[in-house]
Amino acid sequence: MSSQPSVPANVVSDPGVQQTQVEGGVEHTAHIAIAPRDLYGYRVYNATGTARVFAGRSTIYYRAGDEAMYAVVNRFLERIQWVQLMAWNNDTDATQHYEYSYSTGLTITQGSEVTNGFNLGASYEGMSIGVDHSRRTFKTTETTSSLTTTITVSVPPRSELIFYQKRFEFRDEITFINDAWGQEWNIGPWGGYKPLTTKVSSVNIMAEEYFTKSARLPEGPGSVTVDSVPSASLAGWTRKRENVTPSAKDTLTSMRI
């Protein structure tokens, strides 16, 4: 930035420490002609390996010629679940028809206070991940908005029909960078430099995929392979939390960190 906040006395007393970043290896499935599996055997499929599916930055605030703050997001797929939402029992000798409505959308189930700083859900829109030799891209109606769809199901005589909807479960590990005094700084903990100040959020996406089945799925779990991406880049230097700018400290407090 062209100009920076006035330099407080603690800049001299806390020059920061250089950050050494350990890069996570890129894990991926072999690029050969393998058909995706039909993942309908269990209710739960746990991700194997590192399963880092997204790494990047989101801007929390930017004040030209003054300072900025960024969220550094490393996102992991934890599991895929088929959530049982409805079951119909047909005790008659004729096929019965029912209408049912289901909805897509994103929910932050843990650490939702992060939205006081930036729109975490927006970073999911258009995200593409590799799972079991196939790509999955998340739509607007699964992330930043929702969509309710009504379907008609037919239940044969003397049978049960169960409705399952797919849910993706993620964990976001978020650290922070303060751009001030002419350079970028990772924000360390109070009184030190490691570990970096971190916010962990859990996110569920109710996806558009669903299916019906005449038998209940066993719990499992099964497993899925996931293409992993390298970890997000950090700043070159780290400062103690008490020595970043007042705006950065206030923003962290607003996110309950």
What pLDDT is stored for residue 13 in this prediction? 61
Please state which of the ranges 2-11, 70-79, 123-132, 142-151 shows the lowest mean pLDDT. 2-11
What pLDDT is stored for residue 31 in this prediction? 36
What pLDDT is stored for residue 74 in this prediction? 98
Residue 231's DSSP bridge partners are none
The pTM assigned to this predicted structure is: 0.87
For residue range 182-228, list pLDDT tens digits in order: 999 999 999 999 999 999 999 999 999 999 999 999 999 999 999 99
DSSP 41-66: S-SEEEE-S--EEEEEEEEEEEETTT
pLDDT band per the 50, 70, 90 thresholds, residue 35: very low
Spatial separation of the C-alpha atoms in residues 120 and 141, rounded to whole Å = 15
CB 234, CB 19: distance < 8 Å: yes
